[in-house]
Chain A
């Protein structure tokens, strides 16, 4: 009996200039049964995306299929003529790409793009396709389903677009759904919401799926079967339970080791006191910042409000929050790249000019900024030796042989070979570039390094290596780090202190162990419970939790009054939280939480019966509301 879908000894190759083949996929085989979800897991370069496109007999320009078969219902689609292959794409096999924002055509309405495949392949007429699309919007819990189709892609949020991609893929009821890293670019809370929607729809539609990702924890939630890939070859495959609980292959074990742990108190290893760790290093006081110029002492678009953060010598301070919360803005203000509208910045107790143009060279030297994307942060026309040598020469006046020696030391410090000196950034891998990026900041011998999401664009193993490097650097150099991330478990694993930002305000800050243990600010709790765990069934369990129900169903609203988290908070008090600014409480020394609830109430939040306020109808039945009122 033939399987629904089968890849048999698939080979894909590129070619060098002289025509010699470079194998990309080297004889991969796996099967997908009807209704089954198979995960392809591996890092970038493993060939997983290339394989996922081969399911539609498609390969990117420059690649070719020298051998192997891709069988759908027993027929080899690689051998079909192009018109038949086209008839399969978007009809029998549908594809969901990683970045919905780039994959939606900006000039065409959402509705037309979602229904296009079904109408073109003749599965449905336009009217039925529209109806089906609206039904899918409902199923995917998208807002305003009836009118959504008339909008353009730029008018909806990233998480919504990602779900719309699912609607686009499902509209023609494909036999096989291929999802290529569909949640990688999303915030944790958005990721859960999208995962939940995908899982539900796949189950309801009964279609088989191939789920491509580098994140084992995500795979554990959705897949029945896992295929582990490295460098175009299958390392190991088997049922999800077996791979997760009993990995055999060393590479799978490595992947498992790189999975981020659930953030808990005590996960961070504190350093010894080799450096004077009490001296304050950089501090911002009552700072407000934003974009679009300043009118009446306030920025036109306020991003950060009234921020107070202190970074002590040789400390790692993690700044955490979802995209748009202003965490990168905070680092840019400290670096002087974006002058604050209000408030002061101090460096070693001395006030710093808001704009970097007015800062002295010494001040610039002491505060170094590390960009998120090493690709754009390193000049593609300069060799690594020049990229690292320039700050050495510029700040420290070292030239010639001395400069070269320092470059060699730096490369050694970030664990790169000295030969890299003469290479250009494009000749390095993503993780290597990120190391150079950090080495350039270190070259200035700074006191503070502001790291803006330096691990976000990296695969899990590479990212965990970079984190290890950062820990070593802190121990060796005594530099303080401001580590900006949307990933609480990464931050929790090596920060001394954590600052939690929400909608431009600090909602909680303090030593890492205190922030990661009760009492939590309700938003911190939401973040902690959103980090996927490496076990089957985690997603379902988490969705039962009350804070999830409210927290992920609503988006961030930037408000001028009250607590910014009000509309997503499970324990919000109507009439108070949405009106008055939350008071800042200090449950432990140096641990601050901004909330209207008392610490006792927050601690007991787990035990407060499910009650959701201010008209969250779906998750809050009438009885609960009454209970809330009675409380």
Chain B
């Protein structure tokens, strides 16, 4: 078992390395000369050359890559072209915003979805199951920008209860920040929960065909216990995996929601970085996103290994 966990972590590290190569190659493909962008139109050829030499941009790409990787590993994310602020200082505030939003959504959506998913699986074919299945199916089939704008239409425009634009300010009281975050929160919870409810239900129903479920029925076990004890414990692996994927999405995939509600999160920072050709910023945020994903998936895999008695208790 230990070997499997270590193996999993090693694979994760290899993946992260491949990611770093991919990110570096792709950002280098972005059009425009960095020196030109940073120094502006008025730069002289000499100053451009000096800038390139200083940043190692005249070196071959491979050297640039390893220099960048080395800096990243030592925690030096570089400086942004915008006002020369360090990337870390730019990112930290945004990262906090993203994490807060993701954490609140996760705390509400994960238990809610697992509970609803289990409920749908417990009463298959009943109206509870049918409405949950169709409701979530409709939600995952609609683009999230539509859900977001629909929320705005209802809560901000028609009812006027909530602000159409997210607001985060440190001086806000609890209620003010709750109101300010409500719209993106509701949108994300709906989007994420729909996914997780469906996958939980599907995962449970998948093991429901096993002979040991039939045996439990033949032993006279009640449906609640069949689902919660017999089926759920065999579905932990896949469910944890879906949760991990959705958490990763909450950190890195919420561009649309951040855009619509003008929420100052990490994803929007990266978009801005791409649009202004701020390569160090794009590289750093991309690595954060991928790192989060890889770590979450490793955690999910390790959890699945730990939840499996075959792997936990060798013969």
| In-complex A–B contact (CB below 8 Å) | yes
Interface presence of A290 (CB below 8 A): no
The answer to whether A87 touches B211 (Cβ under 8 A) is: no
Query: CB < 8 Å: which of B215, B217, B313 contacts A152?
Result: B313
* CB contact list, B188-238 vs A, under 8 A: 210-212, 214-222, 225, 229-230, 233-234
* B309 close to A152 (CB less than 8 A): yes
| Cα of A265 to Cα of B251 in the assembled complex, Å | 76
Residues of chain B contacted by A108 (CB below 8 angstroms): 229-230, 233
Report Cα–Cα, A60/B215, bound state, in Å. 12
Known: A102-B211, A106-B310, A108-B229. A90 touches B234 (CB 8 A): no
Interchain CB contact under 8 A, A103 and B233 = no
Q: Which residue of A lies closest to B230 (CB)?
A: A105
Which residues on the B side are within 8 Å of A117 (C-beta)?
219-221
Q: Tell me which residues across on chain A come within 8 A of B230, comparing CB atoms.
A: 105, 108
For B215, B220, B222, which residue has the most chain A Cβ atoms within 10 angstroms?
B220
State in angstroms the CA–CA spacing of A154 and B212 once bound together: 14
Q: Which residue of A lies closest to B225 (CB)?
A: A120
The one of A53, A88, A97, A154 that contacts B309, using a Cβ cutoff of 8 Å = A154
Residues of B near A116 (CB, < 8 A) are: 216, 219, 221
Contact, CB under 8 Å: B217 / A91: no
B126 to chain A, nearest CB (A): 14
Proximity bits, A47-85, B CB within 8 Å = 1, else 0: 000000100101010000000000000000000000000
B283-315 interface bits toward A, Cβ cutoff 8 Å, 1 = contact, 0 = none: 000000000000000000000000111100101
- In the complex, whether A155 has a CB less than 8 A from a CB of chain B is yes
- Among candidates B216, B217, B313, residue contacting A105 with C-beta atoms closer than 8 Å: B216
Which one of B212, B218, B315 has the highest number of Cβ atoms from chain A below 10 Å of its Cβ?
B218
Min Cβ gap B234→A in Å is 5
B315 near A155 with CB under 8 A, answer yes
Beta-carbon contact of A90 and B233 below 8 Å: no
Interchain CA distance A168-B216 in the complex, whole Å: 11
Q: A56 touches which one: B218, B221, B308 (CB < 8 A)?
A: B218
- Residues on B with C-beta less than 8 A from A168 are 219
A89's partner among B212, B218, B225, B310 (CB-CB below 8 A) is B218
CB of A277 within 8 A of chain B? no
CB-CB < 8 A to B313: which residues of A?
151-152, 154-155
Closest to B215 in A: A103
Give chain B residues whose Cβ lies under 8 Å from the Cβ of A90: 218-221
Q: Which chain A positions have C-beta within 8 A of B308?
A: 107
Please tell me which one of the listed residues A56, A88, A102, A107 contacts residue B233 in the complex, with CB atoms under 8 A apart.
Answer: A107
- A86 vs B216: C-alpha distance when bound (angstroms): 11
From B210, B220, B310, B315, A121 is in contact (CB under 8 Å) with: B220
B232-247 Cβ-contact flags toward A at 8 Å (1 or 0): 0110000000000000
Q: Does A520 sit within 8 A of B, measured CB to CB?
A: no
In the complex, 13 of the A-B residue pairs with CB atoms within 8 angstroms, ordered by the A residue number, are A60-B214, A86-B220, A86-B222, A89-B219, A89-B220, A95-B219, A99-B211, A103-B212, A103-B214, A104-B212, A107-B233, A116-B219, A117-B219
